[in-house]
Amino acid sequence: MMSMPHGQSYDYHRTTFDGERNERCGCCVRTMKWFPVLFIASVIGWSYYAFVIQLSFFTVTNIVQRILFLLFYHAVLVMFLWSYYQTVFTDIGRVPSRFHVPRAELDRIVRATNEVEQKEILETFAKELPVVTRTLNASVRFCDKCRLIKPDRAHHCSVCGVCVLKLDHHCPWVNNCINFTNYKYFILFLGYALLYCVYVACSTIPYMELLWTGKIDGRFHILFLFFVSVMFAISLVSLFGYHVYLVLLNRTTLESFRTPIFRFGGPDKNGFSLGKLNNFQEVFGDDWRLWFVPVYTSMGDGVVYPMRCYDEDAEALLGGEQHGNRSGTENLHDFEAATFLNEYGNLMN
């Protein structure tokens, strides 16, 4: 909710000013943000040299074994790099324009004498929008930086400076928000990166003994390749496992720490969960042939999400249960929300 003294004019140019200020020092900042990505790219480039040249060509003597090594290595590498590219360069999911509060409504909010009146203005504007989550004080989720009503599961990213659809977190290693548009790519990137590291580590183990016993010339690239791949695999296995767990529960990282609050039923971490298979398909799509290919197959538009409890809520609201003490306007608003949920409830079927 906007907290602004009565009579104070709204600064419409604040966001523009912040953008211009960031742009003045943007060259250095943008370059520094790409350092983690350049580091990952450098490690991948070095590992390619170490595995293909030092290990496969200079160390492996069996031709058949060398061919098999290189075939599987390049297959995994292509999927790994493809997923990483998609994660880094896919545009973030921005909030549609219909969620932006018009200037006339902002002026009314500024002229409001108290927060209750501000809340009513936002409630009236949000009545036509498909939002079913609220703040702790049952208010509409409003971003005073972007001057918009936040869609369900959307949050403001302080790094990108905008509200992002189904924001999971901002990842410096990809210099991008992990959100509705690239979440599938991010999961595949973690999975293929883990497979890449495990394969490289397992391929170098037999030659570690030969290096240690001095049966082959000391190739420190192979030695470092083993330890680096093991180190990255250890860090990736927990991260990948955690995000697979979140996918199966249809929950973002933010939602795992900050439970979403629904207009119907209050706080519920499992409010968006539709069952493990449906949760998986919401991110990866319903065509199993494309599940593990880094192309866009996620279901929905990033704004509307089917809910686990929409059927029982709609039935309760249509029957008027547990609403005896509520006003006709509140019941009408809930009826419209229930109708909306019922309309989109078959999205995953």
Strand 261-262 to 162-164 pairing: unpaired
Using CA of residue 269, residue 281, residue 153, residue 79, what is the dihedral sign? positive
Phi-psi region of 161 (alpha: psi -120 to 50; beta: other; left: phi over 0): left
Q: Contact, 275 vs 137, CB < 8 A?
A: no
Tokens of 97: 């324009």
Q: Catalytic site residue 171?
A: yes
Local confidence pLDDT in tens for the 349 residues of the chain = 544 444 444 454 454 555 555 566 667 877 889 999 999 999 999 999 999 999 999 888 899 999 999 999 999 999 999 999 999 999 999 999 999 999 999 999 888 888 888 899 999 999 989 999 999 888 999 999 999 999 999 999 999 999 999 999 999 999 999 999 999 999 999 999 999 999 999 999 888 777 776 666 657 888 899 999 999 999 999 999 999 999 999 999 999 999 999 988 889 999 999 999 999 999 999 999 999 999 999 999 999 999 876 544 444 433 433 333 333 333 333 433 443 444 444 433 3
Which pLDDT score is estimated for 334? 42
Which pLDDT score is estimated for 28? 81
What is the end-to-end Cα distance of the chain in Å, rounded? 36
Which pLDDT score is estimated for 348? 39
Catalytic residue (one of 171, 177, 197, 309): 171
How far, in Å, are 44, 74, 176, 229, 235 from residue 232 at the CA level?
Answer: 12, 19, 20, 5, 5
CA distance 166 to 93: 8
Instruction: State the CB neighbour count (10 A cutoff) for residue 251.
Output: 21
Which pLDDT score is estimated for 307? 87
- Among 252, 266, 270, smallest CA distance to 136 is for 266
Q: What angle do CA 292, 68, 213 make, to 5 degrees?
A: 115
Residue with tokens 């990948």: 240
Which pLDDT score is estimated for 321? 37
- Among 136, 125, 132, 137, smallest CA distance to 99 is for 125
Which pLDDT score is estimated for 254? 96
Which pLDDT score is estimated for 206? 85
Question: Residue 273 phi/psi, 5° resolution?
Answer: -75, 130
Q: Contact, 345 vs 309, CB < 8 A?
A: no
CB burial of 142-176 (b: ≥16 within 10 Å; e: otherwise) equals bbbebbbbbbbbbbbbeeeebbbbbbbebbeebbb
pTM (2 d.p.): 0.81
CA distance 209 to 8: 74
Residue with tokens 């160390």: 59
Which pLDDT score is estimated for 23? 61
Which pLDDT score is estimated for 209? 73
Tokens of 29: 């900042």
Helices of type H across the chain:
14-24, 26-33, 35-48, 63-89, 103-111, 115-126, 183-213, 220-249, 253-257, 276-284, 310-319, 328-344
Which pLDDT score is estimated for 24? 62
